[in-house]
Each structure stands twice: as structure tokens, then as C-alpha cells.
Amino acid sequence: MIKVVVHGALGRMGQAVVNAVCGAPELQLAGAVDIKADRDTLQVPDGAGEIPLFANIGTFLENFTPDVMVDFTQHDVVMPAIRTATENKVNVVIGTTGMSDDDFDEIDRLSRQHDVGAVVAPNFSLGAVLMMYLSRIAARFFDYAEIVEMHHEKKLDSPSGTAVTTAKEMARAREADFIHPESQKENLPGGRGADLSGIAIHSVRSPGFVASQEVILGTLGQTLRIRHDQINREGYGPGIVLAVKEVVKLKGLVVGLDKLMGL
């Protein structure tokens, strides 16, 4: 059994991680940590009982010895948590976004120094990772590409990080920019979307979406559409469970779920 502590357990993603870990036979939920903790225990789903709930990861690790910390918190919180976890010989799986290359260097150094594994994945959705991978493969065979990404109306930024990464990787795979037809006359500003390496990116913001993306590739007489729809946060569960099972076999940092999926 791999014992898991969830950091940020009361957040939107944290709750999804708690559910995913409870549903995975090879994993055991050792505890939950969240600064919002106002009680000592957390009721786990399906009547499986209660687990310890702490407000601070350091205090939790003084009392318990999990194998893996899964973190979905926020950028200013995650690095101190990783330092504490690795010093305590705990492997780390990180979903929190917004990390820099310096952060990656430090995580790799810390995990090697303390002989543990680390996985940082900006996207734990297996389908989204495959959508990006397939788009990369297709990129070489098409001259035109556009991305339509669709998210809930509360998303703060646009285009999405996934759309930007997809476009960058497609242009790199093609080793050239795509052909980007400009409008002779733009009836409204921004009508052709944002432009990255010739790929027009269009952002839809509306209730009813969690995270969707369609990559449309075109060449003479044909189009190829690669679409992924994230319907709810449960969809991240299989990717997170995969990362937890793999991180205990690693030494050092792996960035991206694709490497753990053998892509």
C-alpha cells in the first residue's frame, strides 16, 4: 500500500484527489492537510471512516510518515511544502500550477539529495495529455492549424496554458510556423483570435464547460479535428493515481504526465 497525504485537501482539486485515492485499491489515504482545517479529522467518502486533518504539512509530518504528498494548493505555498516533504523523505506529486524553471531545478536537486521522486504535471488529465501528443504528431502533415479552447466563465486568464503549450509544441514539431491567413478586412478587432506561430487561438468562456479544447488542422481538401472534453474534476483521478504509483519508483524530478504514460 502506498500511503498518501493530500496537501490542499479542502480545495476543489484536493477533494477530487481525496476521492481518487480512496477509490484506488493500491493507495491508502494517510491524512489531509489544509490551512482551512477547523477540525482534527476528515470524513472520507463511501463510509470509509475518518483520517487525520492538519492545518500544516510540517506538523503532519512530525506525526505521520506517508510515502507521497500530493499537492494542489497555490504557487506561494507549494515550494515550502516540497522542501518540508522531501526533507522528510516523502515523494511529491505536484499539480499546483505557475512554477518556474528555477523551481524545477530546486525540486530536482532536493529530490535527488533526499533520495525521493518528484512529479510535476501541469495537466493530470490523461485525455488532455493525449490530445496534445496527437496534435504534435499531426502537426507535420498540415499547413493550417487553429485551436478553440472552451472553459468555464470564472477562468481568469486567456488563452489557456494548455492551448499555448499545444501551439508551441505543434510549431516545434513542424519545425516552422503554420500559415495564418489574415482577414483582408477585420469587421471587429480580434476576429481572427490570438496568433502563436501562425496558429489562431480562440477562447470561449461560458458556464457548462470545465475544460475543453479542439485542435483543427487543415490542408488541401481535408481537415482533422482533435478534441478533448474535461467534464468534471473526477477526470483528473486516473492521472493522479498513475503519478502516485510511479513517483515512488523515481529518483529526481519528472515534469509532465506524458513521460509516465510512455508517450
Ligand X SMILES: NC(=O)c1ccc[n+]([C@@H]2O[C@H](COP(=O)([O-])OP(=O)(O)OC[C@H]3O[C@@H](n4cnc5c(N)ncnc54)[C@H](O)[C@@H]3O)[C@@H](O)[C@H]2O)c1
The answer to the question of residue 235 lying near ligand X (CB under 6 A) is no
Strand order in the sheet with 27-33: 41-43, 50-54, 27-33, 2-7, 68-71, 91-94, 117-120, 252-255
Catalytic residue (choose from 3, 75, 152, 155): 155
Q: Is the C-alpha dihedral spanning 30, 253, 240, 210 positive or negative?
A: positive
Query: 60, 54 in Cβ contact below 8 A?
Result: yes
Which of these, 120, 136, 163, 89, lies nearest to 260 by C-alpha position?
Answer: 120
Looking at the DSSP bridge assignments, the partners of residue 251 are: none
Report the distance separating Cα 15 and Cα 8, nearest Å: 8
Q: How far is the CB of 123 from ligand X (least distance, A)?
A: 5
Q: Does 34 bind ligand X (CB under 6 A)?
A: yes
Q: Is the dihedral of CA 72, 74, 75, 76 positive or negative?
A: negative
255 contributes a contact to ligand X by CB under 6 A: no
Instruction: Please report how many Cα atoms fall inside a 13 Å half-sphere around the Cα of residue 171, on the Cβ side.
Output: 18
79 versus 226: smaller Cβ distance to ligand X:
79
Among 96, 162, 166, 212, binds ligand X (CB under 6 A): 96
- Closer to ligand X by CB, 73 or 135: give it: 73
152 carries an active-site annotation: no
User: Of 167 and 243, which has the nearer Cβ to ligand X?
Assistant: 243
Residue 70, beta-bridge partner list: 6, 93
Contacting range for ligand X; rule: CB under 6 A; set: 12-20, 42-50, 101-109, 145-153: 12-20
- Contact string 120-159 vs ligand X (x = CB under 6 A): -xxxx-----------------------------------
Indicate if 180 belongs to the active site. no
Q: What sign results for the dihedral spanned by CA atoms 15, 19, 20, 24?
A: positive
Tell which one of 8, 31, 66, 159 touches ligand X (CB under 6 A).
8
- By 3-state DSSP, what share of the chain in percent is helix, strand and coil, each rounded to 5? 35, 30, 40
Among the listed residues 7, 89, 114, 151, the single catalytic one is: 151
In which element (H, E) is residue 39 found?
none
Closest CB 228 distance from ligand X, rounded Å: 13
By CB under 6 A, what part of segment 52-81 binds ligand X?
Answer: 72-74, 77
Footprint on residues 193-232 left by ligand X (CB under 6 A): none
Q: Measured from the CB of residue 113, what is the shortest distance to ligand X in angstroms?
A: 23
Residues engaged in binding ligand X (CB under 6 A) = 7-8, 10-14, 33-36, 72-74, 77, 95-97, 121-124, 236
Residues annotated as catalytic are 151, 155
